Structure 1
Amino acid sequence: MVTGTSLKDRYRLSRFPLPHNGMGKVWTAQDTLLDRPVIVKFVNAAMMDADLLRRFRREALLTARLDHPGVPAVYDLGEHEGVPYVVLQKIDGITLTDLVAEQGPLPIGWVAFIGAQISSILLAARDIGLVHRDIKPSNIMLQRSGAVKVLDFGLAVLPDDERYSRITQTGQSLGTVGYMAPEQILGAPTDHRTDLYGLGATLYDMLTARPPFDDPTTITTLRNQLDNPPPRPAQVRPETPSVLDDLVHALLAVQPEDRPANADDVYAVLASLADDLPPIPGVLDDTAGPVQTYAAIVGRVPPDGRSTVISPAGHTEINA
């Protein structure tokens, strides 16, 4: 690609591609028809084969199928000079990896606030049987509005749909060391509890500013993931509320059956803790505006101490 390339006489590429470690190059672009910025993601032409093309298209279809405000919108699929591309919603924000690197351990309210939003996305994914399989801080972005986006569905599966579940593993990791669930390490079947493990590892990272497994080698990290949960967050950060400490510990259980049964339970706990959102310098300097709208979505704790949870279907439940 060259600067200013126009795709379909509509999407005009920017000067340079963005840094990206995925299966192709990523550019910012301008949709000249609708006058809005977008992201254009190309297959890596140097590595292009039938399997890569299938996985690239599969990721776009899975992302489009999960209709949720916490997932980037897919606008278009196309091909330029024989190289396929997908046009995506441009997300203005910061990954949780960069956020924690800049800020250190996040305030408890923000950890819960972000985690509750991720839980709501996992609820929507479970409704269609989708398992992301790579939930981790670098795949989650916090926007300046306070909203969260889950990115990168390259490893996602729909276990009951052969069109989407077939994915070869040649040259591709099954997940991310330190964040993927033990069943992924062993090549065992995965389900929604696999993503709950990734959520637990992400919460741990936000709470402590370090990954749950911080071993010197990949082998020792994998072995510890298979044998033991990490130290409890409260051992690293004593002010962690006991209910949050217990939740993260449960999410990081080695056996899937020992984790919370579903994201509903996780959502309710996190929503009840999302009640103190101080400004995040340089990221969200004023939290009195749009953030409050999102706080209403993930739940607040009323003065009487009962937790108000807004379910994905839009029904309000009051839990004593």
Structure 2
Amino acid sequence: MTKQLKIDIGHYSSAGIKAENQDSVNYCIPTGSTLESKGIVSVLADGVSSSEAAKQASDTAVKSFIHDFYSTPETWSTKKSCQQVISAINSWLYKQGSTHATELRGWVTTFDAVIFKSTTAYLVHVGDSRIYRLRDGDLSLLSKDHTTWINSDRSYLSRALGIDSILQIDFKQLELQPGDIFLQTSDGVHDFISDAEISAILGSTHTAQDKSQRLVERAIANQSDDNLSAQVSEVIQLPSATKQEVYEKLSELPFPPELQPGMKIDGYEILQELSLSPRSQIYLARDMENDQELVLKTPSSNYSDDPWYLDGFVREEWIGQRLTHPGLMKTYKSHKSKQFLYFTTEYIKGQTLRQWISENPTPDISTVRDLISQLSSALRAMHRQDVIHQDLKPENIMITPEGRIKIIDFGAVHAAGLAELASVLQRQHPEGTLNYTAPEYLMGEPGSKRSDIFSLGVICYEMFCGALPYEEKKVNKFQLKSYQHMRYIPIQKRRKELPLWLDQVLKTACAANPVKRYSLLSEFIHQLKTPQDVKVQQDFEPLLQKNPVLVWQLISLSLLLTLIASFYFR
């Protein structure tokens, strides 16, 4: 049976000898799918006593982080979620402390968070509170105090939430092992207790709650003169699954039978078959409850025993429900109990971009520019959600009768949030379709937003001239030894009337080496719209490459003249 992540967490906090406890500590262990997609959060903040609103600052930081972290998109990576949330909290605290928003001046606090997701711990740290880990009896300090020492007796906090409008946080990720024990402490604890004492208490058989209390009580006994807080998180079990378990989970629902017009499935009436391919069947259907027309997509029985295919099919539905943009196909959440494996999407009338390219062999620049701008807007919406499409091609793009673009396939997408989950499914080949796949995938390197820009550049090139910017690759060759092996074909060789500035833009968009590519979609679109900003660079092309016949003619002529001269002087 598939195992879930289990963490035993406990905390204890005390004002100590002070009248007010300005520390704040808490955690959240969600249930259901949120446990898998976002993980478990453990947070500690120590309000800086020199600020008037120290307690309010620490309470706000802890409560806001837990609430807002779980409100970030599931597609976001943990790092992006943390950065966005912490930045917002810091801005709010800084504004509260530096304006007349309240009577209290200075909303400053240290901050530590540990996020346990799948088989990884993500650490967020700013200030002089600390994060430790005990593994196999060995205690390690995982955070660095952000303090600056004036002399041996005096120091000040150089980084904390609320000090400045600009914040630099430490972010670290570590692989988890069962039995790992993480400890978060305020300085009222770790300044008054030795590493040996910490190791002894953490290594005992007590619960996480008891260990936290014992650490605080030991520091008090050691004459701590500050607020004291400790939070202990012990890894009891890590999520794991065998390939068989993953397959069984993905194939819980049976494949639908072959559907025909007039057949009914889970409250949907099949109206007609729209598309049939080796990978899926797509039908126009009617929701019998509200009379809405929609598309019903079913998996191909050819892949009934392929976990990776099933994972992509399920992922496509999941992603489509979390992306919102007029240029991205919507997938609907089922409000009925499914009896079979399928999902439903909006019904998009029109033609594929592949059909459009066939019907428009020599389009003008403004028409292509408009369609590419729409595509870029849809891709940008995906990238903002930490999602890379990875399989952009003319067949996966629809154009409505009104001239609007829709991306319709999400089966190969990379969502940063999903990628953080441990999986036994291993990719056997690069994502996407070979001639539109970014070269870095073929080199065995990870993709990025620039990978989608490459695919968009290839599509733009093909829209102008109906051909590819590189020689077509063989289907069975998935490896590329060097970016230099790919030679860009100037678009003027396809359509002589197209301007040089356009070729420069396209060459940059689909540059083989991602470093030489546009880093942002906005850069690509800006240059596509403003040719006056494009610096045309004429690449030197050796004569042997440009006109090999002429070169050999000149060599032959030279040899002939040499022979004649030799004969004459002899």
Which TM bucket (shorter chain)? 0.7 to 0.9
- Determine if the alignment matches structure 1 residue 27 to structure 2 residue 302: no
Deviation for aligned residue 1:221: 9.7
Where in structure 2 are the equivalents of 1:1-320 lying within 5 Å?
Answer: 1-9=259-267, 11-16=268-273, 18-22=275-279, 24-49=280-305, 50-77=307-334, 81=339, 83-162=340-419, 168-170=426-428, 174-215=431-472, 217-218=474-475, 226=483, 227-271=485-529
Letter of the aligned partner of 2:469 in structure 1?
A: P
User: Matched residue of 1:40: which SS?
Assistant: strand
Assess if the C-alpha contact under 8 Å between 2:443 and 2:481 holds in 1.
no
Structure 1's 147 and 37: CA in aligned 2 closer, same or farther, altered over 3 A? same
Alpha-carbon distance in structure 2 between the residues aligned to 1:47 and 1:92: 28
Alpha-carbon distance in structure 1 between the residues aligned to 2:521 and 2:329: 20
Runs ≥4 residues deviating over 6 A? 219-222
User: Matched residue of 2:296: which SS?
Assistant: strand
Deviation for aligned residue 1:224: 9.9
Q: Which string of whole-angstrom CA distances, capped at 9 and with x for unpartnered residues, describes residues 177-223 of structure 1?
A: 21111011122110100000000100111011112234474468976
Structure 1's 225 and 176: CA in aligned 2 closer, same or farther, altered over 3 A? farther
Structure 1's 8 and 217: CA in aligned 2 closer, same or farther, altered over 3 A? closer
User: Which deviates more from structure 2 when the two are superposed, residues 33-42 or residues 232-241?
Assistant: 232-241
Alpha-carbon distance in structure 2 between the residues aligned to 1:219 and 1:194: 21
User: Matched residue of 1:91: which SS?
Assistant: coil
Structure 1's 174 and 104: CA in aligned 2 closer, same or farther, altered over 3 A? same
Relative CO higher for 1 or 2, CA cutoff 8 Å, sep ≥ 6?
1
Structure 1's 207 and 58: CA in aligned 2 closer, same or farther, altered over 3 A? same
Alpha-carbon distance in structure 1 between the residues aligned to 2:529 and 2:471: 28
Letter of the aligned partner of 2:395 in structure 1?
A: S
- Give the structure-2-normalised TM-score: 0.44
Alpha-carbon distance in structure 2 between the residues aligned to 1:216 and 1:258: 21
Structure 1's 266 and 164: CA in aligned 2 closer, same or farther, altered over 3 A? farther
Alpha-carbon distance in structure 1 between the residues aligned to 2:409 and 2:530: 28
Alpha-carbon distance in structure 2 between the residues aligned to 1:130 and 1:259: 19
User: Which deviates more from structure 2 when the two are superposed, residues 211-220 or residues 175-184?
Assistant: 211-220
Deviation for aligned residue 1:124: 0.9
Letter of the aligned partner of 2:520 in structure 1?
A: N
User: Matched residue of 2:388: which SS?
Assistant: coil
Query: Paired residue for 2:564?
Result: none
Deviation for aligned residue 1:51: 4.2
Alpha-carbon distance in structure 2 between the residues aligned to 1:231 and 1:185: 20
Letter of the aligned partner of 1:72 in structure 2?
A: M
Extract unaligned runs of 5+ from structure 1: 274-304, 307-320
The number of residues matched between the two structures is: 271
Deviation for aligned residue 1:146: 1.0
Q: Which string of whole-angstrom CA distances, capped at 9 and with x for unpartnered residues, describes residues 102-122 of structure 1?
A: 221322211111111111112
User: Which deviates more from structure 2 when the two are superposed, residues 253-262 or residues 51-60?
Assistant: 51-60
Structure 1's 239 and 194: CA in aligned 2 closer, same or farther, altered over 3 A? same
Assess if the C-alpha contact under 8 Å between 1:129 and 1:159 holds in 2.
yes
Structure 1's 164 and 241: CA in aligned 2 closer, same or farther, altered over 3 A? farther
Alpha-carbon distance in structure 2 between the residues aligned to 1:220 and 1:187: 13
Letter of the aligned partner of 1:231 in structure 2?
A: I
Extract unaligned runs of 5+ from structure 2: 1-258, 534-570
Q: Which string of whole-angstrom CA distances, capped at 9 and with x for unpartnered residues, describes residues 38-87 of structure 1?
A: 11001224532454433211111112222111011112347754x31111
- CA RMSD, aligned part only? 2.8
Structure 1's 163 and 144: CA in aligned 2 closer, same or farther, altered over 3 A? farther
Letter of the aligned partner of 2:373 in structure 1?
A: A
- Give the structure-1-normalised TM-score: 0.75
Query: Paired residue for 2:538?
Result: none
Structure 1's 92 and 238: CA in aligned 2 closer, same or farther, altered over 3 A? same
Query: Paired residue for 1:286?
Result: none
User: Which deviates more from structure 2 when the two are superposed, residues 71-80 or residues 98-107?
Assistant: 71-80
Letter of the aligned partner of 1:267 in structure 2?
A: I
User: Which deviates more from structure 2 when the two are superposed, residues 98-107 or residues 125-134?
Assistant: 98-107
User: Matched residue of 2:269: which SS?
Assistant: strand
Alpha-carbon distance in structure 2 between the residues aligned to 1:43 and 1:177: 22
Which structure has the greater CA radius of gyration?
A: 2
Alpha-carbon distance in structure 1 between the residues aligned to 2:397 and 2:450: 18
User: Matched residue of 2:469: which SS?
Assistant: coil
Assess if the C-alpha contact under 8 Å between 1:178 and 1:225 holds in 2.
no
